[in-house]
Structure 1
Amino acid sequence: MNQKSFWLVVIALVITFGAQAQNTLHPTSSEYQYPTDPKVMEKLEHWRDQKFGILIHWGIYAVPGIVESWSIVNEDWINRKDTTQSYEDYKKWYWGLKEEFNPTGFDPSQWADAAAKAGMKYVVFTTKHHDGFNMFDTQFTDYKITNGPFGSNPKADVAKHVFDAFRAKDMMIGAYYSKPDWHSQYFWWDYRATPDRNVNYDIRKHPWRWNQFVQFTHNQLNEITTNYGDIDILWLDGGWVRPKSTVNEEVLSWGAPIPEFSQEIDMPKVAEMVRKNQEGILIVDRTVHGPFENYRTPEQGIPATMSPDPWESCITLGGAWGYVPNDRFKPSRKVIHLLIEIVAKGGNLLLGVGPTANGLFLPEQVERLEEIGAWLKVNGEGIYNTRAIESFQDGAFYFTQGKEKELFALLPLEEGEELGERISWSVNPPKKGSKIQVLGEKGSLKWKTENGKTVVSIPKSLQKKLAEVPALVFKYEVE
């Protein structure tokens, strides 16, 4: 399949399904297990202080500009434009994109600069997505970026250069790794058809083959956590690869077939190995609730209420996780509002930004990130290093608390929304005599308590000055 038109083949893949076709999950306190290792606990609290990170999906799917990996799955929700192409021929075409992937413009410093200007504090980068194409120089398969037209490039070991670039910006480093591997003969065996996302043979009847896959997975995770410098987060995707005993209503809601057997990769052994290599590393075995899901990761949405447990919403800047042509990017104001709500509810925001096949962020992506960063440069005190409180919202206002127990009232403003002469909230009253300040502005505002509400006066000069800002942050002390 060499038709140019095929590069749009899976834009119809229903982007709303998201990168992993998983639904939004509310973090539930009763199911979350806090780590007991002091080093892990320390790193987890440090991660919770960061609040804002970037998830970079990049792989061979960027070449045709299609939704990452999912087009090679034979499930009912997958729609390919070319109905004359056989499924097997399509997979061969897709996997053959390896020979076309030559990102000579690859510039990880551009990514890291843009993320730093956005006020992001950590990165999660796809070392391998479900399609099995490796963005690092693994020694356990030839299906990798270093074995192709980009292989002779000095930056061919892509993950190394991405991690180094973000490390230079003093960011936490996260390695995304897909547990399933649709290219591996130990997961999708050519002897059998590939009816869905799961392993395509009965593990109970072919234990040797599955054990080979488990060993392959361990070998790669050992490489990532030994050969690529300090890694803070191991972000494991593909939640259908899990013990059968952990299948719950959430998993069933994905609509994917559930095998009669477990697809276990021995997570206790994985955790022991990677924490021997990287002391205190956070492990995020997405959606598999238990000791190896150090924080929850609801996708493309925000939980309805606050949770005191650690969690992170992963949400795309555009409509897709990776690069697709003519994607529509969220306005920076929208992202700022998402960040405010997520942080007030106790979470972090991991924003998905996909580079082009040539290895660059688009100007529109960079522009959005710079606009977000400009707001955070002024108002970050109300976001970073804060924690959620029980009364986290009152009408349009959201509230966060700093480490010194200072409170922040965050007010998102829609485009064109006028700031009145008086604003008020009914919860979290200031202590008597407290000053209320607008972050980024000198002096303090007049306020009073009226009918149980905190009423703040906004001078006309300030109304005019702040007319276009996406959100205001008020700082004050409480009893």
Structure 2
Amino acid sequence: MKPFIPAHGRRRRALAGLLLAAAACALPGAASAQTPPAGAPAAGAPAAGAPAADGDAAARIAWWRQARFGMFIHWGLYAIPGRGEWAQFMEQTPVNEYAKLAGQFKPRHFDPDGWAQLAKSAGMKYMVFTSRHHDGFAMFDDGDNPFSSTKTAAQRDFVADYVKAARKAGMGVGLYYSPLDWRYPGYFFPDLYRDSAEAMRAQYHRQMEKLLSNYGKLDVLWFDGGETDWLSFGGDWSAAQWQKRAPGKHYGGGFDWQHDKVHTMLRRLQPNVVINGRADMKEDFHSREGDGALGDYDDQHPWELCTTIAGAWGYQPNMQPKPLKHYIQLLANVAGRDGNLLLNVGPDPDGRIDPAQAQRLREIGAWLGKHGDSIYGTRGGPFLPGNWGASTRRGNTVYVHVLNWPGDKLALPAIPARVVRASVLGGGAAKVEQSARGIEISVPAAARDDMDTVVALQLDASAEGLAPVR
């Protein structure tokens, strides 16, 4: 990913050279950042969902696995300069200077119902909204905290409005939260500035309790940057010069995020919420980041690929989306590897999603309107992904997503079940020849789709129990 839009899980490599300057810029604002007090009103009604005990991770994650496709929303003060959500850090904007943006953040076109309807028209089933990013600005009611949307120009609890809209639209409700906060030098020097690091931790625990308590049922909690090994961006201060920790070497200082306490709290307050693994606590799903992190098939550990529709995670003007084919094939490749796709948009300072990006989302939704059976509620396999494409399955049906025809026929390995019928989703005939050696599929050129020819193979037995084959 480009340096000015570093990946959530890979940013530390690109940012190592900026660490000292970043800590210095964090120092001036430390005093005002350390002790915002608690207090916020309750809001929201519970969303639908079957209860699941903490030990029943499979039951808790079931709805999420069936959903397959969600919307990520990065939105905050960083939308004003329009250079991505890491602009403050990458440009070394002093904390007190950056904080002045809060006086300009008065979005005139913030329409969470419109966001939720757009997600719905895109065929998405859940949403994840940034409640607080690394800049420390809380997009929710954080009591007397002066660096929050309710205590600055906006005078609005954006999390409350988003949650209400997402729930009204029938979407799964997710919140992104970053324990790290660039305003605290203790993040960069957790042992040298222990009081600052502990104040940052206190803010994290306090804000998590508010988010878990005041907005009704949450379905997804998406942590970022909370791993202990992220402290100092993975740096080692055992010498006078910062250096990257050696592979396999972990932070060995005295600071502790006390994530175990947060985990106990979240399971008490939100027993069914599913969480990713970016805060050193037991994860429900793993995060892969960026198109290049697609990775391999994995049906043992729930996982999600998060990526942007265009440009950085936070707003950048005039960032054009890729062709529709890119997103359809990405979605098919993710589902075929047994993962979810979380596709990000970054609204502008006034809360509007770029029209070209919104149109692309609707086009994805139109495709899913015809081919959704091959994505929603499926599991990856049994044919493992290859250059030709990927496959998904549900019940007695295997959906073969042919993204690249190798010739007149696609040859697949043998499976211990008989194909009794074959058809092309969206209309068209498919011919199947099956033998002990394998399966050959052919589709007339006129019935093929350049983006994804989805061939549905109905079997005489359950497809879900078949072992993956390549």
Considering the TM-score relative to the shorter chain, is it more than 0.5?
Answer: yes
Contact 1:140 1:219 in 2 (8 A): no
TM-score of the aligned structures, taking structure 1 as reference length: 0.77
- Is 1:92 the equivalent of 2:93? no
Task: Please tell me the residue identity of whatever aligns with 1:452.
Answer: R
Picking from 332, 350, 354, the partner of 2:346 is 354
Contact 2:176 2:223 in 1 (8 A): yes
Instruction: Specify the alignment match of 1:281 in structure 2.
Output: 273
Contact 1:431 1:477 in 2 (8 A): no
- The offset of 1:72, in angstroms, is 3.4
Instruction: Specify the alignment match of 2:331 in structure 1.
Output: 339
SS in 2 for 1:116: helix
| Structure 1 residues 111-150: aligned runs within 5 Å | 111-139=115-143, 141-150=145-154
- The offset of 1:278, in angstroms, is 1.3
Counterpart CA distance in 2 for 1:384 and 1:331 is 22
| Structure 1 residues 239-318: aligned runs within 5 Å | 239-241=226-228, 260-261=252-253, 263-286=255-278, 288=280, 291-300=281-290, 301-308=292-299, 309-318=301-310
Point out where structure 2 has 5 or more consecutive residues left out of the alignment. Answer: 14-51, 236-242, 462-470
Contact 2:414 2:435 in 1 (8 A): no
Instruction: Specify the alignment match of 1:56 in structure 2.
Output: 73
Deviates more, 1:423-432 or 1:315-324: 423-432
- The offset of 1:201, in angstroms, is 4.8
Counterpart CA distance in 1 for 2:80 and 2:230 is 35
Instruction: Specify the alignment match of 2:159 in structure 1.
Output: 159
- The offset of 1:171, in angstroms, is 1.5
- The offset of 1:412, in angstroms, is 2.0
- The offset of 1:215, in angstroms, is 2.5
SS in 2 for 1:436: strand
Counterpart CA distance in 1 for 2:324 and 2:246 is 30
- The offset of 1:388, in angstroms, is 2.1
Cα separation, partners in 2 of 1:322 and 1:96, compared to 1, 3 Å: same
Picking from 381, 394, 411, the partner of 1:425 is 411
Instruction: Specify the alignment match of 1:473 in structure 2.
Output: 454
Picking from 17, 21, 44, the partner of 2:61 is 44
Q: Deviations over 1:54-94 (max 9, x none)?
A: 110000000110221x3333xxxx4x4xxxxxx5x643322
Picking from 4, 11, 15, the partner of 2:4 is 15
Instruction: Specify the alignment match of 1:193 in structure 2.
Output: none
Cα separation, partners in 2 of 1:391 and 1:286, compared to 1, 3 Å: same
- The offset of 1:394, in angstroms, is 4.2
SS in 2 for 1:17: coil
Task: Please tell me the residue identity of whatever aligns with 1:426.
Answer: L
SS in 1 for 2:286: coil
Picking from 376, 380, 396, the partner of 2:372 is 380
Instruction: Specify the alignment match of 1:194 in structure 2.
Output: none
- Is 1:200 the equivalent of 2:192? no
Instruction: Specify the alignment match of 1:7 in structure 2.
Output: none
Counterpart CA distance in 2 for 1:384 and 1:400 is 10
Instruction: Specify the alignment match of 2:210 in structure 1.
Output: 223
- The offset of 1:17, in angstroms, is 2.1
Contact 1:242 1:263 in 2 (8 A): no
Instruction: Specify the alignment match of 1:438 in structure 2.
Output: 424
- The offset of 1:448, in angstroms, is 1.8
Instruction: Specify the alignment match of 2:170 in structure 1.
Output: 170
Counterpart CA distance in 1 for 2:297 and 2:390 is 11
- The offset of 1:292, in angstroms, is 2.1
Contact 2:4 2:84 in 1 (8 A): yes
Task: Please tell me the residue identity of whatever aligns with 2:174.
Answer: G
Counterpart CA distance in 1 for 2:144 and 2:101 is 20
Contact 2:277 2:287 in 1 (8 A): no
Task: Please tell me the residue identity of whatever aligns with 1:409.
Answer: V
| Structure 1 residues 363-402: aligned runs within 5 Å | 363-389=355-381, 391-402=383-394
- The offset of 1:432, in angstroms, is 3.8
Alpha-carbon RMSD: 3.2
- The offset of 1:157, in angstroms, is 0.8
Instruction: Specify the alignment match of 1:235 in structure 2.
Output: 222
Task: Please tell me the residue identity of whatever aligns with 1:17.
Answer: P
- The offset of 1:386, in angstroms, is 1.2
Contact 1:110 1:360 in 2 (8 A): no
- The offset of 1:407, in angstroms, is 0.9
Cα separation, partners in 2 of 1:202 and 1:425, compared to 1, 3 Å: same
Contact 1:242 1:265 in 2 (8 A): no
- The offset of 1:424, in angstroms, is 1.8
- The offset of 1:431, in angstroms, is 4.2
- The offset of 1:466, in angstroms, is 4.9
Counterpart CA distance in 2 for 1:254 and 1:54 is 36
Counterpart CA distance in 2 for 1:254 and 1:108 is 44
- The offset of 1:368, in angstroms, is 0.7
Counterpart CA distance in 2 for 1:447 and 1:20 is 43
- The offset of 1:239, in angstroms, is 3.9
Instruction: Specify the alignment match of 2:185 in structure 1.
Output: 188
Counterpart CA distance in 1 for 2:71 and 2:148 is 23
Counterpart CA distance in 1 for 2:442 and 2:190 is 68
Q: Deviations over 1:318-369 (max 9, x none)?
A: 1210111122322221011111111111111111111011001111111110
SS in 2 for 1:15: coil
Contact 1:63 1:97 in 2 (8 A): yes
Counterpart CA distance in 1 for 2:251 and 2:55 is 37
SS in 1 for 2:61: helix
Cα separation, partners in 2 of 1:353 and 1:52, compared to 1, 3 Å: same
SS in 2 for 1:313: strand
Contact 2:320 2:356 in 1 (8 A): no
Contact 1:397 1:425 in 2 (8 A): no
Contact 2:116 2:171 in 1 (8 A): no
Cα separation, partners in 2 of 1:376 and 1:93, compared to 1, 3 Å: same
Contact 1:447 1:454 in 2 (8 A): yes
Question: Percent identity among equivalent residues?
Answer: 30
SS in 1 for 2:413: coil
Task: Please tell me the residue identity of whatever aligns with 2:308.
Answer: T
Instruction: Specify the alignment match of 2:29 in structure 1.
Output: none
Cα separation, partners in 2 of 1:22 and 1:297, compared to 1, 3 Å: farther
Counterpart CA distance in 1 for 2:412 and 2:333 is 18
